[in-house]
Structure formats: structure tokens, C-alpha cells
Structure 1
Amino acid sequence: MTEQHINYQRVAKAIHYLSERQAAQPSLAELANHVGLSEFHLQRVFSEWAGISPKQFLQFLTKERAKQQLRKASVLEAALACGLSGSGRLHDLMIKAECMTPGEYRSLGAGLQIVYGIQASLFGYCLIASTQRGICKMAFFDDLGEEGAVLHELQQEWPAADLQRDQQAVAGVFTQVFSGRGDPSAQLRILLKGSEFQLKVWEALMAIPHGELCSYQQIAGAMGIPSSVRAVASAIARNHVAYLIPCHRVIRSTGEFSQYRWGAQRKQAMLVHEAAQTPI
């Protein structure tokens, strides 16, 4: 287990405590006591990992800030209008999305070789599965005891594919995903498998800029289907490529952070990490 992963676990515990007790505005001393670190050590670990202090994160959690972000509906609409979905520059990383054909979708991955690996990442343990055409799955989990369930999910999604564990083969992908932003020469490819509607929703998600938030209603509206909020939410929940397809940037229109396939606590960690990296 890397120091980065250990610090994520500490910060995640702190995030959960602050989220549960937001209204009470807990002090640094209370938070440090809960996490089991000194105030100085917690302040340093939290700030190094998230880029902001625990107090600043508590301010970030307020609904008022989230609601301010949600007023920027034009951000997503403009991004979609400029054609950022599909094969263009989708968000901070250069990502090229390729969709499986209907025939390939029905074949359940027959003839496809998938290599996968698991590594301690910035947001907990991370499984990445990749083909010659790009990443086909990315998932997060907290404990190595959950590895079997994550692998079973991969097998269920690609039942006819040839799955092989190869840590070395995907090491470069891990590095590329988590090494930071802004390298235009390092293009990531993802391979999407879903219905036509799901693919459109996932492409819309990739148009949400780094550090921005959108509501389910705004996604549906920007796609021209304002009455299909539930269908959009269902498609978002079926996203197989965490983080790169940023479904964590979608919250409720009330400003509340809704549930997340890989854990609401992890979603908050991702959002605060991005907010700290985004210029005001």
C-alpha cells in the first residue's frame, strides 16, 4: 500500500466526518481526534492530498457553493455545441472515445483480449481494464477484499472476452491517468459499450469541464431531452469508466451530492480535489 493510498484513506475518513457533521461545523481538533492524528499532521496530510485545508473543504461542502456552480448551465451547453463530445478534446486529458459497433456489442466481447491490473491510486484501489482499442473499464474500491467482486463485475460486462491479469501492461495507463493534467501528447483512448442513448449521455458527461458541476436536469436539457431526467440518471449510473467519464461531476439540482456508483465519499473526494486544482 502506497503512502498516497494511506493518505487517501485518512482524508476519506475526514471527509465522511465533515459531511455527516457539516451543520455543526466541527473544529480541526474534533476532526483530528476522530481520524486519530494530531491537528498538525491532519492539516498537513489533508492539504497535501486535497490541495485545500479541512476548513476550506467544509466551506466547499455547503449547498450554496454547489448551487452557484449549477447556475453555470451554459458551460455544458456551450461545450456540447462546440462538438467537444465524441473524438475531440473531451476534458482536461486528451481522450479519444471509440464506440463498439452494434454487432460487437451483441457479441459480448467475443474475440476481444482484455488485460487488467489493480493499483493503489489517488482515490483508493483502482482497477483498469484495457484493450488494444482503449480502456474499457475503470473502477475504484477501498479494500483488497473487494477485489473479487470488482473482477466478477468485469467478467459480467465482458463474458465472452479473454481476460488476462497483467500489471505491467497497464502500468503505463495508470501513470498516464494519474500523473496530472495538461499533456496534449499523451492521448488516452477509451472503448465504450452501451446503447445509443447511453453513449450519448456518457459523451455529454465528458463535455463537463474540470472543476465544474452539472445537475441531471442540466444534462438532459443540454441533450435536448429535458423530460428524460430519469433515463439520463440511469445511463449515468451505468457508466463503466470511472473518473475519465466524469459522472462524479453530476449532482442534484438542490446542490446535494447524490450517490455515486463507487461511493459518495469518493465522489466528494474527487470533487474537492478538482476544485482545489481549478483556478478561481
Structure 2
Amino acid sequence: MSDYDRIAEAISFIVSRVDSQPTLQEIAGHLHLSPFHFQRLFSRWAGVTPKRFLQVLTLERAKQLLRESKPLLEVSDALGLSSGSRLYDHFVHLEAVTPGEYKTGGAGLTIEYAVHDTPFGKAFIATTPRGICSFAFLEGTEIDERLAVLHKKWPNALMHENRQRTLAVIKNMFGEERNLDRPVSLHVSGTNFQISVWKALLQIPPAAVVSYSQVATAIGHPDSARAVGLAVGANPVAFLIPCHRVIQQSGKLGGYHWGEIRKQAIHAWESARYEGPQP
């Protein structure tokens, strides 16, 4: 069992008992670990203690984050961003597939892919010379499924595995420091509406959240929260296009394509990195 599997099991246990605030001993006992060993494992993975994670998990905290969140258009104006071309933390650049590229089905294009370990389990990543075109967390042996999706989008592209090249991207995504001189580029295919939603998501600050209706307002379609939800669910590049930062207006996390437990884990991990360690 990987560290993430143990952490996911612990998070599941905490989530099911969040109202009663389980003790360190209770959580560790559920995993058949000593409290010392479990606390060390959890803190090494998340950067925060289980106690701090319990605080991150509460519905009241999520509601508070929503109350404090600024409209995305205000965030964009404050940072001098234009049409999402320079995005929130200045390390991600999104480029949409051109109509010509879409029409040729990727003819002459080389796509490199691999499966890597991440803090949230194994993940499939694929890149073109212009950026990441796919990133998805894996629950099992789903690589064939991910390759089939790629072949459907890029039927005429040449695809081959290249762990060395994709590993550098993984390190940039999850490492302690990102090289801001070389932004991570995304090369994605979607409708105009989907692209506008994904660009809006890239303006959400790390460790912050917004509601679906806030995203709808930001892209100029205030009555399209449901359509925004569908576009969020169609996100082709998990984590970097941060659909995990969109939650329900009630403060509940809501669904997540790769599982609500993983969404909880990402929130805790980001809170630890961007809000700083707390007791």
C-alpha cells in the first residue's frame, strides 16, 4: 500500500467522523499504525498535522473561504491579466487547439506519455511540443483507457512513452519550488465555452475556492452554472486546471471526477503549502 493509499484511507475515516472530531489515536488505530508513526506519515505527506487537516475539512471553513473569495474578474483586473493569457500564479499558460489542428486530427504531431507517482496516487500525463494535453489520476490499470481517449482526440498523432521527459513536468507540478522562468504550458482541445471556463479556473488562487455561479459570472454567463459544472467535469488536465477549487455554494465540496477523497486531499495539501504550517 502506498503512502497515498494510507492517507486516502485516513481521510475517508476522518470525513465520515468529522462532526465528532476523531482523535489521533482513533485515526491511527483505524490504519493499524501507532499514533507516532501515523502522525509522522501524515505530516510528511500533507505538510500539516491531522489536527490541522480536520480544521481544513470543516464545512464552516469552506463557507468562510467562499465569503472571502473575490470575484474572478476582480482577481484578473488586480493582477493585470488579459483574457486568461497570463494566469493566476504566473506559471501556467493555456493554449487552445487551433481549428486547423483539430481538423487534421494531430497529423504530424508527436505525443509523449507516461504514468508517474504523485502525492495523490498514480497519474497519467501526456504532452505535445506545445504543452500538456492530458493529465488524469488513475484508480487502477486505466492507462489503456487514457490512451484510447487520446487516440480519439488525436487520431493521426504519433504516440510513444517517454518517462524521462514527462518526469520533468511532474516535478514542476508537485515539487517544492516551481521554475517560474519557464511556465508550464497546456495544449488543450475544447469548445469556446469550455476554454473560457478553464481559463477562469486558472485565475483561482491556490488554497482558495469559488462557486460554480461565480465562475459563470466571471465568463459572462451568470445563468449558466449548470453548464459550467459540465465544463469543469470535462477538464482534460487535472490539478493544473484547478477544478478542485470549485465547490458548491453551500460550502460542500461537491463531486470530483477523480473522487471526493482525492479532492479533500488536494485541498489539505494546497492549504499546507500556501497558507503555511499551523498547529
TM-score (norm 2): 0.92
Q: Deviations over 1:48-84 (max 9, x none)?
A: 1111111221121111100111113425232233326
Match of 2:84 in 1: 86
2:121 aligned with 1:112, yes or no? no
Q: Give the corresponding residue for 1:241.
A: 237
Q: 1:173 to 1:182 in 2, by over 3 A?
A: closer
Report the 3-state secondary structure (helix = DSSP H, G, I; strand = E; otherwise coil) of the residue aligned with 1:202: helix
Q: Spell out the pairing of 1:190-201 with structure 2 (5 A cutoff).
A: 190-201=186-197
> SS of the residue aligned with 2:173?
helix
Whether the 8 Å CA contact 2:197–2:228 is kept in 1: the answer is yes
Matched-pair contact (CA < 8 Å) for 2:122–2:139:
yes
Task: Report whether the alignment pairs 1:208 with 2:166.
Answer: no
Q: CA deviation at 1:146?
A: 2.9
CA offset at residue 93 of structure 1?
5.6
How far did 1:180 drift?
A: 2.7
| Matched AA of 1:8 | Y
CA–CA distance in 1 between the matches of 2:85 and 2:113? 24
Distance 1:196 1:254 in 2: 28
Percentage of identical aligned residues: 43
TM-score by length of 1: 0.91
- The question of 1:267 aligning with 2:268 is answered no
Q: Secondary structure at the match of 2:27?
A: helix
CA separation of 1:159 and 1:72: change in aligned 2, threshold 3 A: farther
2:218 matched to which residue of 1?
A: 222
Is 2:55 aligned against 1:55?
no
Post-superposition shift, 1:128? 1.0
Give the whole-Å Cα distance in 2 for the aligned partners of 1:55 and 1:156.
Answer: 45
Structure 2 residues not aligned, in runs of 5+: none
Q: Partner of 2:131 in structure 1?
A: 134
After TM superposition, list the pairs within 5 Å mapping 1:23-38 onto structure 2. 23-38=19-34
Q: Deviations over 1:180-206 (max 9, x none)?
A: 345322321110210111000000000
Q: Counterpart amino acid of 1:50?
A: A
- Tell me the distance in 1 between the aligned counterparts of 2:238 and 2:125: 10
Q: Which runs of 5+ in 1 are unaligned?
A: none
After TM superposition, the structure 1 = structure 2 runs for residues 36-75 of structure 1, keeping only pairs within 5 Å, are 36-74=32-70
Q: Does 1:155 align with 2:151?
A: yes
AA matched with 2:57 = L
Aligned length: 274
Shift of 1:271: 0.7
Give the Cα–Cα distance (whole angstroms) in 2 for the partners of residues 235 and 108 of structure 1.
22
1:122 pairs, out of 109, 119, 122, with 119
Secondary structure, counterpart of 1:278 in structure 2: helix
Q: Does 1:172 align with 2:175?
A: no
- Distance in 2, matches of 1:11 and 1:214, equals 26
- Determine the C-alpha separation between the residues in 2 that align with 1:85 and 1:141: 32
The answer to whether the Cα contact below 8 Å between 2:71 and 2:218 also exists between their aligned partners in 1 is: no
RMSD: 1.8
Map of 1:17 onto structure 2: 13
Q: CA deviation at 1:174?
A: 1.8
CA distance in 2, matches of 1:52, 1:273: 8
Pair 42,92 (structure 1): closer, same or farther in 2 beyond 3 Å: farther
Change (3 A) 1:214 1:162: same
Moved over 6 A (4+): none
Q: 2: distance between equivalents of 1:48 and 1:279?
A: 16
